[in-house]
């Protein structure tokens, strides 16, 4: 009887938390399609006019392109910097993994505003492009998710033995890395790239302070729009939400497919 009561209470709590989290999202989506919604429970009518205005807005398209460029370049920099380090830690020297885990925690412990203030003070008077400072800073902030995704991919196989066997068979280190390592961690690389891109695509604090209004990304445009047009900001928020939802679905699908393939491989081994 007590267990049944506990389950009922747990379900009620979960339902209340779900309503609390989902209700604002639903209200924002409804408001983005509403013709007018003032002092009524439901909107007076529905329209896609606000979406058409947003899509045809040159400021929105420019901000979207800037965010995509920022995300793509940051992802490339992060992969070029972090993938060799994770490879070295898993294949050559696993003793440094403890230090890497400590380093990956630092972006969580240092508040973003403190990091930005330090970067501005150090690099403001140096002949270094501020865009480069921004790209490197965002790449550093994405280190925790990028490192974890790549490290999980390396844990799945004994890459040290595979790499050494490839070297014995005559492959160079670079060729062995490209032929043996990359194909076996492509799912981890793909997930790490998506996480890094999402982090850079939605960055606001670093971009706004380091570059200011000289480089208006989608997130900066969103906050500016919120101060002038609530309806348009709801549309933009909805578009941004569905963009993140699509990326989440892609990652979940890829992970599930990889898990099912591993399960099929294990079953084949058992049959043998």
Torsion angle in degrees (nearest 10) through CA of 26, 248, 69, 222: 20
First to last CA, the chain: 48
Do 180 and 166 touch, CB atoms closer than 8 A?
yes
Nearest Cα to 80, choosing from 142, 21, 160?
Answer: 142
What domains are there in the chain, each with its CATH number?
A: 1-47 (no CATH), 49-271 (1.10.3720.10)
**Cα angle at 101 between 76 and 88, to 5 degrees?**
60
d(CA 185, CA 265): 16
Burial class, 169, CB count within 10 angstroms (exposed 0-12 / middle 13-18 / buried 19+): exposed
Dist CA 25 CA 9 (whole Å): 25
pTM: 0.77
* Token output for 16: 């209340």
Taking only the tens of pLDDT, the chain with its 272 residues reads 566 677 788 888 898 998 888 888 888 888 778 777 777 777 777 778 778 877 787 888 888 888 888 888 998 988 888 888 888 888 888 888 888 888 888 777 777 677 777 777 777 677 778 788 888 888 888 888 888 888 888 887 777 888 878 888 777 888 888 888 888 888 888 888 888 888 888 888 778 777 776 778 888 888 877 776 667 778 888 888 888 788 778 877 876 776 565 554 434 434 44
Residue appearing with tokens 């940051």: 74
Q: Which two tokens stand for residue 80?
A: 């070029």
């Amino acid at each position: 009887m007590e267990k049944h009561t506990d389950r009922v209470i747990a379900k009620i709590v979960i339902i209340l938390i779900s309503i609390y989290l989902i209700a604002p999202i639903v209200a924002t989506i409804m408001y983005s399609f509403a013709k007018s919604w003032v002092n009524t429970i439901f909107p007076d009518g529905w329209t896609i006019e606000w979406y058409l205005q947003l899509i045809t807005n040159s400021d929105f398209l420019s901000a979207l392109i800037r965010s995509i460029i920022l995300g793509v370049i940051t992802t490339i920099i992060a992969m070029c910097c972090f993938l060799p380090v994770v490879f070295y830690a898993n294949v050559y020297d696993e003793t440094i993994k403890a230090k890497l885990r400590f380093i990956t925690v630092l972006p969580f412990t240092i508040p973003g505003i403190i990091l930005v203030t330090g970067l501005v003070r150090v690099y403001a008077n140096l002949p270094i492009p501020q865009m480069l400072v921004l790209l490197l800073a965002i790449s550093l902030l994405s280190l925790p998710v990028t490192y974890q995704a790549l490290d999980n991919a390396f844990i799945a196989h004994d890459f040290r033995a595979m790499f050494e066997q490839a070297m014995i068979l005559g492959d160079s280190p670079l060729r062995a890395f490209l032929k043996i390592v990359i194909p076996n961690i492509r799912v981890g690389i793909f997930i790490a790239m998506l996480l890094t891109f999402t982090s850079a695509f939605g960055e606001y604090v670093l971009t706004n302070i380091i570059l200011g209004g000289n480089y208006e990304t989608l997130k900066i445009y969103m906050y500016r729009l919120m101060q002038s047009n609530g309806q348009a900001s709801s549309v933009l928020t909805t578009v941004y939400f569905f963009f993140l939802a699509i990326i989440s679905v892609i990652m979940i699908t890829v992970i599930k497919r990889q898990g099912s393939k591993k399960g099929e491989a294990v079953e084949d081994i058992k049959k043998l």
